[in-house]
Structure formats: structure tokens, C-alpha cells
Amino acid sequence: MSAKVTYKKAPLIELIVEIRWTVQVLGLPGGPPIVSGSSSVFDIWFHGLAGALRADGFLELERLVPHDSPVFAYQPVFRFKKPEVPFPIYQFGHGIFTINAGPPNYISWDDFRPQVESGLQALIAHKPAAANVEDFSVASLRYIDAFREELRSGMSNFAFMRDALGVTIGMPAGLLDFAESEDQITPTFALRFPLKEEDKSSLTFQLAVGRIGRAATNDTIMDTTYSVNRSLTVNTDEVLTVLDNAHDVIHGWFTRLTGQLHEKMIPIEQHAK
């Protein structure tokens, strides 16, 4: 049996599974996608989903959009969570469903996958026929990591990106001489490219400097998203197949990028399920 490696001191802040489907909107192209039509079908879907999630222990419900505010497509309207723990979280809106995870509850994809599966099953089982959702249009998996001082070993964010992660931004010779100090350079790096797969998949990779939550210092923030933008059957198994592949790609990307940090992150082998 093969073993998968996770890390005791992984830099993970949040993992987000996102599923989208097409909804009717008002407005001009490029404008805000205000949801059109009656909300009754959405309400039926919401109440069915809420009941299923409540039975699974997600007893806390938060409305994210005020009742008197316009409702936009692909914007979470409701959030479901378990009492007294930050994760996991389900979010539901017009054309969007997300499943969010993070520390301390998230251990590995294999451990989290059943939560994804049960959420998808609840979403699909309570979809009203009148919703006219024949397929999903997007499935994505996003990881947000923050490399704090402990993993950077005192390096500035600029030096850490360059020397530890191997990510460099080419500049004409001598231009960085204008900087007061290398430690004060605030780099931003963004990359998006289609993958070598026959699945209309792409990877978006971003590095920046910032603070997340109650962080006391500016850290290196890494944002990695695998996305499939094609018609997906409204079927749990098909969506999970896409997400499993997304995890494998992102995990491989992360492993190669952080090669110098593996010892500091403390590898833990887990037997593949």
C-alpha cells in the first residue's frame, strides 16, 4: 500500500471546494450579475439542503447577504457550520456551493473527502426539478497558504520567494539597486495556464505579501486554484473524480515548490485509502 505525505506544520490557511451552475441574471454584460426571477425555487432548495446539513451536525446558520440587499449570482448567501469549531463550512447561494476546510480540523484530503461527498450528495438530493439545473459549469479546488516567520527562518518575503521557493521575477540589471532595502521589496506574482489534460482544466498560482486573520506580521501568501470549466453531470461521483485529480495536481505542485521546506514542515506519512 502506498503512502501519502502530509505535514504537521503545513502552512495551510484554508481549502475551498467550489461548484457552480448557470443562473439567470439581469443587467448589461460586465455589470453586476443580479439574480433574476422568483426566489421561491431557491428557497425550496435552501430549506431542503439546510435540513440535511442540520441532521449532519451543522446547526449554526448565518445569512451573509441582508434581506434588503440585491442578490448577486455566484455569491454565497448562507453559511452552515458546526458549533464551536471554525471548520468545516458549507456555503450556498444562487449558482454556487462551497465546502471550506482548514486547521485545526483539516488533516488531509483523504480525511476531508467524505465531508465533500456528503455535502455534494445533500446539494444534489434536494435540488428542485424546477431549478432547471441540468449540469454544473465549474468545479474548482483552491488552497490558501501562509508562510510565516517560522517557515521563512528570518528571511524577508522577497528573499523567501526567490531563495526558498525558487520563484523569481526578472528585472533589468540594476533596477533593484534603487530599493532602499531588499527586505522592503513587496513582490506579487501571478500565473495562469491550461494543464496538459483533456479536461479543460487550468491552474492559477499567485504569490503575494500580506496578513491573514490575526497575523502580526506580513507573510508570504500562496493562492493555488485548480479549475475545470466545462459541463459536469450533476453527479457526486463525477464531481469527486475532478476534485481528486485537482488535489493530486495541487499536491504535486506544492511538493515540488516547497522542497527546501519539507523538513521544517515535518512530514507525516499516511497510508493511501
Tell me what pLDDT residue 255 has: 96
Percentages of the chain per state (helix, strand, coil), in multiples of 5: 30, 30, 40
**Cell 491552474, located at residue:** 203
Whether 270 has a pLDDT exceeding 90, the answer reads no
Tell me what pLDDT residue 123 has: 99
Tell me what pLDDT residue 3 has: 56
pLDDT top residue among 101 and 184: 101
Compute the average pLDDT of residues 138-162: 95
Whether 273 has a pLDDT exceeding 60, the answer reads no
- Do 157 and 220 form a contact (C-beta atoms < 8 A)? yes
Express each pLDDT in 119-134 by its tens digit. 999 999 999 999 999 9
Express each pLDDT in 189-243 by its tens digit. 999 999 987 788 999 999 999 999 888 889 999 999 999 999 999 999 999 999 9
Domain positions in the chain are 1-14+142-273, 23-132
Compute the average pLDDT of residues 20-36: 86
Confidence grade of residue 144 (pLDDT, cut at 50, 70, 90): very high
For a pLDDT cut of 70, what percent of the chain falls above it? 96
Express each pLDDT in 155-179 by its tens digit. 999 999 999 999 987 777 677 778 7
Tell me what pLDDT residue 2 has: 44
The whole-angstrom distance between residue 248's C-alpha and the CA centroid of its chain comes to 14
Predicted TM-score of the model (pTM): 0.92
What whole-number distance in Å separates Cα of residue 208 and Cα of residue 220? 6
The per-residue pLDDT of the chain, averaged, comes to: 92
